[in-house]
Amino acid sequence: QDLDDATIAKAIECWRNQECETGSGGELVMGYADGGGNDVNVWRSVSKMEAVLQALTYPEIGKIVATAANFDPDPAVHVNDIRFLINRGVDFIVGYPDMGIALAEVIKEATAAGIPYVSFSAGYVGLPDQEGALIPGQDYLTVVGEDLCALGASFAQILNENVGEGKVAILGGTPNNALSLGWQRCTIDNLADSITLVNPPADRNSTTGDTNWYNPIIPDIFEGLLVANPDIKGYAYEYADGMLSGFEAYEELDIPVQNLTLALRTDEQSLFCDWVERNEPTYNIWYSAGGNFQSRTGVTAAMLHLKGYEVPGQVIVPHVMRKVTESDCDPNRPNPVVSGTSLVPDTILRQMFGG
């Protein structure tokens, strides 16, 4: 986007504050309900900015009201955030439901109140075969994101072809969130017999390798895997920068980053530039896309619905796996942890992160 100074200033104001006037005079109020928040990691922060920038393109939207649960482990915090937006009288809600099925009742409350709820980043409110799961397109407006089973199968294919034989580990985000659970199931189902998963989940409805996508705790999780399995040859994970945090455990345990294959979803520059610096030919990365822009799609889906257009219950974002090359490292990025596929302009990123 080619943005003028006034729009940039307004975007920063709305990103920083719980509530803001867009200046358009529009009657609609957008709600943004994040199970994370600006302070938990860069990905969440950028995703909110993507949604804000999209909202500012609609003169009908006159106000933005946002909540952030900051990965609180208590589902009631997340429920109360959405209920606050309902009571605040928002016209639609875009968000990521980290607590999954635990949010089912409050999301149904929003739907009953005539407030469409849209999740992004494949944030299903429970996967279709889970007890208590909501049905997108029926119980809430829509979910925006990849075909999670296809994504998981792609991860397995990369590990099968490049590890060949040996140990691998799988990592995820907040416990039992639908994004991680959806692709993890299909990665596990498609791993070759010659591949040994060192951290299988407790059951089919549980995630494994839960990191909460929170970098400070990730080294300890990797250390727990590596102490018992220093010869891990591959990882599947949806958070590239989290993998970089995991390498702190490699350093602590004096394990070389060699003979290693990564199958990742996001494309944070931090990991890719670290890969370039290592210049290790037996260490390779495949990735898809950061997906921050999906929050924009969520805003547009809600606006289309409010204008009377039919919106499908699932907005599938195609994925393509790419092998990292030197060109994937942009040393001039205002913040190295920002996804390479983010649509937020550098002028705004510099103000967000002080770059």
pTM recorded for the entire structure:
0.93
DSSP 268: B
Pair (43, 110) in one structural domain: yes
Count CB atoms within 10 A of the CB of residue 276.
14
Pair (204, 72) in one structural domain: no
Pair (212, 301) in one structural domain: no
- What burial class does residue 149 get, using C-beta atoms within 10 Å of its C-beta: 0-12 exposed, 13-18 middle, 19+ buried? middle
Pair (274, 154) in one structural domain: yes
Pair (277, 154) in one structural domain: yes
How far is Cα 29 from Cα 14, in angstroms, rounded to an integer?
13
Pair (282, 305) in one structural domain: no
Q: What is the full per-residue pLDDT of the chain (355 aa) written as tens digits?
A: 679 999 999 999 999 999 999 999 999 999 999 999 999 999 999 999 999 999 999 999 999 999 999 999 999 999 999 999 999 999 999 999 999 999 999 999 999 999 999 999 999 999 999 999 999 999 999 999 999 999 999 999 999 999 999 999 999 998 989 999 999 999 999 999 999 999 999 999 999 999 999 999 999 999 999 999 999 999 999 999 999 999 999 999 999 999 999 999 999 989 999 999 999 999 999 999 999 999 999 999 999 999 999 999 999 999 999 999 999 998 888 888 998 899 999 999 999 998 5
**The domain that contains 197 carries what CATH number?**
3.40.50.2300
Residue at 341 is within a domain: no
How far is Cα 168 from Cα 198, in angstroms, rounded to an integer?
6
Pair (245, 303) in one structural domain: no
Q: Which domain holds residue 174?
A: 148-287
Pair (12, 138) in one structural domain: yes
How far is Cα 45 from Cα 23, in angstroms, rounded to an integer?
22
How far is Cα 104 from Cα 127, in angstroms, rounded to an integer?
12
